[in-house]
């Protein structure tokens, strides 16, 4: 079911379970986030995120196979076409395990958010929880940042730290980080949609 006119449309790109997608859907349903999830895209056919989107009544949800396109740029132009059709104001990456090329990033400059379970610039990449535990750090956390052409590199919108407990496992740490992620991502999306962020270089200030 679509919300009233004037509610900003967002797209969520996922590759797996979609727990952050679910948190966004829950925030919109509860009125904590004035937005409409207009588009959910996955690059994996069996992603649970697509089922979550279906259950929530998201009208445009789709699996797009990157291998069906001759180049990464062609694949991303298909994503752009979907976003433009749905008049998407903000693109939210939620466990989307593909790095976007300059073709997509430049089209949506400062309108792509990503969430990462570490305090960037520490522990970028695909295994930040494992890396933090192996390094023996005492504190990790969650970062919501704007996406640029480099991996886990764009300007930081919000961060929240979390102390690592003695004997912490990857499973227990992930569960505690998810609690922060699900709250922090909705907060960052709201700030962006309400145009309460000002971006100068790598610095994001909140108004």
Q: What is the pLDDT of residues 98-154, one digit of tens each?
A: 999 999 999 999 999 999 999 999 999 999 999 999 999 999 999 999 999 999 999
192 located within any domain: yes
158 located within any domain: yes
1 located within any domain: no
In the residue annotation, 145 being an active-site residue is answered as: no
20 located within any domain: yes
By percentage, how much of the chain surpasses pLDDT 70? 98
128 located within any domain: yes
CATH number, residue 191:
3.40.50.170
Instruction: State the pLDDT at residue 2.
Output: 43
Catalytic residue among 110, 116, 145, 153: 116
Instruction: State the pLDDT at residue 5.
Output: 60
When pLDDT is averaged across residues 38-51 and rounded to a whole number, the result is: 97
Structural domain including 55 reads 9-206
3 located within any domain: no
Instruction: State the pLDDT at residue 129.
Output: 98
4 located within any domain: no
Three state DSSP letters for the chain: CCCCCCCCEEEEEECCCCHHHHHHHHHHHHCCCCCEEEEEEECCCCCHHHHHHHHCCCCCEEECCHHHCCCHHHHHHHHHHHHHHCCEEEEEECCCCCCCCHHHHHHCCCCEEEEECCCCCCCCCCCHHHHHHHHCCCEEEEEEEECCCCCCCCCEEEEEEEECCCCCCHHHHHHHHHHHHHHHHHHHHHHHHCCCEEEECCEEEEC
How many structural domains compose the chain? 1
2 located within any domain: no
When pLDDT is averaged across residues 5-23 and rounded to a whole number, the result is: 95
- The pLDDT of residue 6 is above 90: no
Instruction: State the pLDDT at residue 1.
Output: 36
């Amino acid at each position: 079911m679509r919300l009233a006119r004037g509610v900003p449309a967002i797209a969520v790109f996922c590759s797996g379970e979609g727990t952050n997608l679910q948190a966004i859907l829950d925030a919109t349903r509860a009125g904590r986030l004035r937005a409409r999830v207009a588009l959910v895209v996955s690059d994996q056919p069996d992603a649970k995120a697509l089922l979550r989107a279906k259950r929530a009544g998201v009208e445009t949800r789709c699996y797009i196979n990157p291998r069906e396109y001759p180049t990464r740029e062609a694949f991303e132009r298909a994503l752009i076409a979907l976003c433009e059709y749905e008049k998407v104001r903000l693109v939210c990456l939620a466990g989307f395990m593909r790095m976007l090329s300059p073709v997509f990033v430049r089209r949506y400059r400062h309108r792509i958010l990503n969430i990462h379970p570490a305090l960037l610039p520490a522990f970028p990449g695909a295994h930040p929880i494992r890396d933090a535990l192996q390094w023996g750090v005492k504190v990790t956390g969650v970062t919501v940042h704007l996406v640029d052409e480099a991996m886990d590199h764009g300007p930081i919108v919000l961060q929240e730290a979390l102390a690592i407990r003695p004997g912490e496992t990857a499973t227990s740490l992930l569960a505690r980080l998810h609690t922060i992620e699900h709250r922090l991502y909705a907060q960052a999306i709201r700030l962006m949609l309400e145009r309460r962020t000002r971006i100068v270089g790598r610095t994001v200030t909140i108004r």
